[in-house]
Structure 1
Amino acid sequence: MLKSYASQPFETRGRLFDEKLSTFRSPFQRDRDRIIHSSAFRRLKHKTQVFVEHEGDYYRTRLTHSIEVAQVARTIAGALGLNEGLAEAIALAHDLGHSPFGHTGEDALEDLMAPYGGFDHNAQALRIVTKLEKHYADFDGLNLTWESLEGIAKHNGPITGPYADPKRHPEGHALSYALKEVNDQFDLELHTFASAEAQVAAIADDVAYNHHDLHDGLRAGLFTADDLIELPLTDRAYADVDATYPDLEATRRDHEALRRIFGYMVEDVITIATNRLDSARPETAQDIRDLDRTIIRFSKPFFQNLKVIKSFLFKRMYRAPSVVVERERVTVMVNTLFPLFMAKPALLPPEWRDEIDAARDDTQLARIVLDYVAGMTDRFAIQEFERLCATPREI
């Protein structure tokens, strides 16, 4: 049974294009299925999480990360009496707009697009699900519900107004054109917090990457279990494993410790969210949006421990020398491909030709080139760079 403050599927604010209800699925379950079957979702298989996709078969990609986020989101939403289908849909869609090479590619495209209306992956995800997926006879995009679009846009918090995070959205800063396009069509109430389900998807993202980045970093040899034993939370996890399973083989020991850390995070979120919901006493999903704070979050002591872990990961993993070298290499690729396509748009595939011909100025052309480059997988971007700009020996 859903709580009264959960997003009720048959009270949805609807879709941009009216459709008949599905016989067997709720509107949010239908959103989830469309996301899973989209081309953009499949491309996440070959997009960077931390390690570039070709560096190893066992490291997380954006696809496996998104699946793990969705699993965590379903668990938390179910425990709190929220709508699991909506939480899962937002979780699966939250990284659809990521460019090749993860945050490195995003940073490069942000700089390149600064004169043309900006770029961020959340706004690009909205553009994908409202325009760039072109498979359905009656509309462009996936025609998702308002609640799913809102969650994609605002799962990290309000974008405008007094509660917007100034680090993400400085006051007076113009909206990304991709976000503005969607918001002009379908007011997403950018000044409020998102639904509880969207907030669950956001915290599930934190849970998933804090867990799997520790796992991938161990596998890559960037740090050891002895390093992790010096950190909060991980010290308790390893101590519990060693007490329960003395002399356990190293790989199994690491796995047992990391799954406990996973459990600590989920349990903390559920406990704190339950307490905050009991205190706030929301009666509807809109009551959650109208609060002056997030309702789904870690406890303050737990969050401080996670900050120590994140700082460790930043130094030992995200800025490890081998990772930095790869970041520099792929930044060159993005910074070369984008200007090349701007100067020679005829290099884009034939199916992009009509849009290129219709572009009236450099801004419109840049947005078409961005859609193309941002949609590339790691492997395709590397292949295009090698084909158009260099020989393999030169990179």
Structure 2
Amino acid sequence: MPVSFACDPAQSRGRLFPERESTFRSCFQRDRDRIIHASAFRRLKHKTQVFIEHEGDYFRTRLTHSIEVAQVARTISGVLGLNAELTEAVALAHDLGHTPFGHTGEDALDALMKPYGGFDHNAQAIRIVTSLERHYALWDGLNLTWETLEGIAKHNGPVVDDIPYALADYNAQHDLELHTHASAEAQVAALADDIAYNNHDLMDGLRAGLFTVEDILHLPLVGACFAEVDKLHPGIDDRRRQHEALRRFFGLLVEDVIAVSRANLEAITPQTASDIRHAGRMVVQFSPAMWRDLREVRSFLFAHMYRAPNVVAKRAEVTEVVTDLFRVFMNDPSLLPTEWEAEVAQADELALARLVADYIAGMTDRFALQAHARLVGA
């Protein structure tokens, strides 16, 4: 049963362009479905999480990561009595703005865009769903509800300093109240993201051979999970042992968020979704103890996975790819898609740089590598 502070689709603030409501889907269900059918969502299949997309079929991509985040978010949202469809929509959309090559690609594009307002993947997700998806007859973008757009823009908290240009541009015409926190549904999506990547980065790092089980037994929570599996299933094969231990680790994170969030909600006794937005703090949280443990896990992953020698070497390689492509398109805008010809013709240097950033950010790993080979050479 939804609670009073859950976002109610019947009370939605609506869409920038008014539409007739569906007879059998709520507005938040329609948002979720539009995101799933978006071109940018399909492209996540070939965008890297940590490893380059073609390096192994079993490693997470942005698409599989987004699906895992949505599954976790929907579970937590249901337990807390929130609107699961809104939560799922925000979770599925949260990585739409990512460049090829993961955070390395984003860092490279942000550095190149510094003279032109920088680059931020959350703001780029807003740009995609409000402008760059161009399939509908009457508007650009997906024409999502205010609540879904708000969740994409500020699921990690208020955005008040150095607002990225892509977000500022849209907010000027459709105020997302960037100074407040997002709905509880969007906050759940943010924590589900943390839960998913902490768990699957350990799995992918083990599979890639960047570290061994013995290397992670000292980590808080993780070691205890392996000890429990060894006690219950002595002699189990390595792959099943890893899966059993890490699914327990996963469960601990989910249980912690649910318990802490319930306590926070009971403490502030919100009566409406607006009360959540104006609570002055995130209400969906990990416990302080869990945050401390997760910081230790993240420090390990940073040292042994994100900065592993082969990963660092690949980071340097793909940074060069993004840098070369940016310079090629800035020097010869005629190489941009023909459907952008009118925009390119009217663009000054600032507008052109932002078009180039849109194009590169939308590339998949494989397309970026192919474009680089064709335009720059091996």
CA distance in 1, matches of 2:94, 2:181: 16
Q: 1:216 aligns to what?
A: 204
Q: 1:337 aligns to what?
A: 325
Q: Deviations over 1:244-292 (max 9, x none)?
A: 1010000000000000000000000000000110111000000000011
Q: 1:380 aligns to what?
A: 367
Q: Deviations over 1:317-353 (max 9, x none)?
A: 0000010000000000001100110010111121221
Letter paired with 1:36: I
CA distance in 2, matches of 1:218, 1:243: 21
- Where do 4+ consecutive residues of structure 1 move more than 2 Å? none
1:49 paired with 2:49, answer: yes
Q: 1:123 aligns to what?
A: 123
Q: 1:166 aligns to what?
A: none
Letter paired with 1:380: F
- The count of corresponding residues between Structure 1 and Structure 2 is 378
Q: 2:275 aligns to what?
A: 287
TM-score, reference length from structure 2: 0.99
Q: 2:97 aligns to what?
A: 97
Letter paired with 2:12: T
Gaps of at least 5 residues in structure 2 are none
CA distance in 2, matches of 1:196, 1:45: 28
Q: What SS does the corresponding residue of 2:128 show, helix, strand or coil?
A: helix
1:228: how far off? 1.5
CA distance in 1, matches of 2:350, 2:141: 22
Q: 2:157 aligns to what?
A: 157
CA distance in 2, matches of 1:129, 1:38: 9
CA distance in 2, matches of 1:45, 1:358: 33
1:198 paired with 2:193, answer: no
Q: 2:30 aligns to what?
A: 30
1:110 paired with 2:83, answer: no
Q: Which aligned pairs between 1:350-365 and structure 2 lie closer than 5 A? A: 350-359=338-347, 361-365=348-352
Q: 1:177 aligns with which of 145, 148, 165?
A: 165
Q: Which aligned pairs between 1:304-343 and structure 2 lie closer than 5 A? A: 304-343=292-331
Q: What SS does the corresponding residue of 1:156 show, helix, strand or coil?
A: coil
Q: 1:62 aligns to what?
A: 62
Q: What SS does the corresponding residue of 1:314 show, helix, strand or coil?
A: helix
CA distance in 2, matches of 1:12, 1:349: 37
CA distance in 1, matches of 2:22, 2:346: 37
Letter paired with 1:80: L
Letter paired with 1:119: F
Q: Which aligned pairs between 1:2-21 and structure 2 lie closer than 5 A? A: 2-21=2-21
CA distance in 2, matches of 1:283, 1:216: 42
CA distance in 2, matches of 1:94, 1:29: 16
CA distance in 2, matches of 1:346, 1:56: 35
CA distance in 2, matches of 1:231, 1:118: 36
Q: 2:177 aligns with which of 181, 189, 197?
A: 189
CA distance in 1, matches of 2:336, 2:117: 21
Letter paired with 2:275: D
Q: What SS does the corresponding residue of 1:386 show, helix, strand or coil?
A: helix
Q: What SS does the corresponding residue of 1:110 show, helix, strand or coil?
A: helix
1:176: how far off? 1.5
Gaps of at least 5 residues in structure 1 are 161-168
CA distance in 2, matches of 1:362, 1:192: 34
Q: 1:389 aligns to what?
A: 376
Letter paired with 2:75: T
Letter paired with 2:369: I
CA distance in 1, matches of 2:179, 2:342: 36
CA RMSD of aligned residues (A): 0.7
Q: What SS does the corresponding residue of 2:220 show, helix, strand or coil?
A: coil
1:232 paired with 2:194, answer: no
The percent identity for this pair of structures is 65
CA distance in 2, matches of 1:224, 1:205: 24
